[in-house]
Structure 1
Amino acid sequence: MQPGQMAYDRGITVFSPDGRLFQVEYAREAVKKGTTTIGLKFKDGVILLVDKHVSSRLVEPESIEKIYNIDEFIGCATSGLVADARVLVDEARKNAQNHKLTYNENITVEGLVKKVCDYKQYFTQYGGGRPFGTALLVAGADDLGIHLFETDPSGALVAYKAGCIGSGRPVVLDVFEKEYKDDMTLDEAMALGLKALAAATDDKPTPQTMEAGIVTVDKPFRRFTDDEISAFIGKE
C-alpha cells in the first residue's frame, strides 16, 4: 500500500480516493488464505467438497467442520475465518426457520443467500464492526431448480455451475474451465471435483483430509460418510 493510502484503511466507512474499501479487500485476502472449497452442479443436484487441511496428526479430523446444514434442502461450505462462518451459518439458519414459521414453506435458495449477503453488507457500511473474513458456497434445491451460490465478504453473490473459494481457487477454476460439462452424472462430478482438489492441494484427498456434502432435487442436503468418500476415491 502506498503511504498516501494508509489513512483510508483505518475505518470501514471510509472510501479511498479511487473508490476502494480497504477493510473489505483485507477480508477477501483472509478468504484467499483459507482452505480450498469446491462446489459443482451435476445433472440432479449439487456437491460440495472441502479440504480440511489437517495440520497435525494430533488433531481429531472429525472436529474440523467446514460443511453445514442450513435448511432441509440447503447446505453450505466455508473458507476463511471459521468463527466468522459459524456466525453466518447461525444467521442463515434463523432466516430459514423464520421464513418457514411465517409462510409454512421452505425458503428459496436465492432468497436465503440474499438475506445472508444483506447481513454481510451491513458490516461494510457502518462503523463499530468489521467485515466477515469468510466466504460461503451455498448449495441447495427448491421449486426453481438446483443452485450454487458464492458469497463474498462485501455482501455480493454470484451463481455458478462450478465454483471454488479459498487458496486453491486459481488451480481449481483452471481445471473446471477445461473439463466441466453440463448434465454430468454424480460419479463424473465427484471425479472432477476430486481431481481439482488434488491439483490444488498437491495431495490425493482421503476421507480424513476432506469433507463432502450433497443435495438433489428429491433428497435433502447431507454429508457424505467416510465410506462413501472412499468409494468415490477408489473409482478414480
Structure 2
Amino acid sequence: MFRNNYDNDSVTFSPQGRIFQVEYAAEAVKQGSVVVGIASKTHAVLVAIKRNAEELSSYQKKLFPIDEHTGIAIAGLTSDARVLSNFMKQQCLGHRLTYGRNMPIRNLVEQIGSKAQNNTQHYGKRPYGVGLLIAGVDNTGPHLFEFQPSGMTEEMQAFAIGARSQMARTYLERHLDAFQDSSREELITHGLRALKESLVQDRELTVDNTSVGVVGFIKEGEASYKVDPFKVYDGQEVSVFLEKVSDSAEGGAAPAAGGEAEGEGMEVDS
C-alpha cells in the first residue's frame, strides 16, 4: 500500500497525476456486493444482493428510498452511504418546500457529486468509500445515474457496480436493445437475471438475500406526469419476481455464471 508518501491524503497528486486515496475508495466499492440498475421509457429498477456478516446477523440493507420519486442502491461502506443518503433527503425536502415539486434527478446527482469531489480538495477529508446507483423519475422521464467516490456522475441506461459486477454488465450489454420498451415486470426480470450472472456457483437468489426497488413514470399531458412512488421489495415480497426468473431459467435461459468467489477481504456493505 506504500506509494512513496503520495497516498497519505486526498489532495496530493502523484508524479503520474493520480490521487491514490480516491483509487482506494474505488476499491471499497469493488468489495461491496453487486447491485444492478436498469431504466426504460416508463420505469427505473434497482436490484441488489444483500450480505450478512455472519450466520447470526441479519442482512444489511442495500436499497434506500430518498424521496417519493427516487431511491439509491449502494456498494461499499454502508456508513458513508447513510451520510450521502441523508444529504440527498435534505436536498429533496428543501427543493419541495421551496418550489413545491420534486427535485430533478440530474440536479440531485450533481449536488452529491460536488459534495464528494469537495473532499478531494481539502486536507483532512477523505473520499466517500461508496458507489451509488440512483434511480428516479422527473418531468423528462425515468433516469439511472452512477455515482463514483471521485465525485464523477454519469447517466446510464443500465449498469452494475460491486464485486463480480462485470458479469452482470456483460448480460446488460447483450440485452441493451430490449430495455427501452420493457414493461415494469420485464425490467425486474432482466435485473434479477443480470444479478444471477454475477453469483458464484454455490449461491442462489433467495428472498433473504435479494432486494428490488422500482420507481415509475406516467405521462398525463405535455408538461405533467404522475409518479409511481419508489418502492423497495424485501423478504417474501420478492418471491414472485424470483419465481419468474426461475421459470425462465428452466425454459432455457442462460445459467448463472460460475467462477472465483466474491471479494470478502473488507467488511463493507455486507
Pick the TM interval, shorter chain: over 0.9
Q: Report the Cα distance in structure 2 between the residues aligned to 1:228 and 1:35, rounded to whole angstroms.
A: 21
Q: How many residues matched? A: 232
Q: Report the Cα distance in structure 1 between the residues aligned to 2:48 and 2:234, rounded to whole angstroms.
A: 14
1:76 match: secondary structure: strand
Does 1:101 pair with 2:110? no
Q: Report the Cα distance in structure 2 between the residues aligned to 1:225 and 1:68, rounded to whole angstroms.
A: 12
Identity %, equivalent residues: 36
Q: How does 1:1-236 map to 2 (within 5 A)?
A: 5-61=3-59, 64-180=60-176, 181=178, 182-202=180-200, 203-217=203-217, 218-236=227-245
Structure 2: runs of 5+ lacking an equivalent: 218-226, 246-270
State the TM-score, normalizing by the size of structure 2.
Answer: 0.82
Which of the pair is proportionally richer in helix?
A: 1
Residue-by-residue CA offset, 1:66-119 (whole Å, 9 max, x unaligned):
111111101001010000000000011111111111222211011001001111
Residue-by-residue CA offset, 1:100-159 (whole Å, 9 max, x unaligned):
112222110110010011111111111111100001100000001110000000100011
The CA RMSD over aligned residues, in Å, is: 1.4
Q: Report the Cα distance in structure 2 between the residues aligned to 1:6 and 1:102, rounded to whole angstroms.
A: 49
Q: Report the Cα distance in structure 2 between the residues aligned to 1:112 and 1:105, rounded to whole angstroms.
A: 13
Q: Could you tell me whether the CA contact under 8 Å between 2:33 and 2:162 is conserved in 1?
A: yes
AA aligned to 2:77 is: L
2:55 match: secondary structure: coil
Residue-by-residue CA offset, 1:49-68 (whole Å, 9 max, x unaligned):
1100234332223xx21111
Shift of 1:225: 4.4
AA aligned to 1:94 is: Q
Runs of 4+ aligned residues of structure 1 deviating over 4 Å after TM superposition are: none
Structure 1: runs of 5+ lacking an equivalent: none
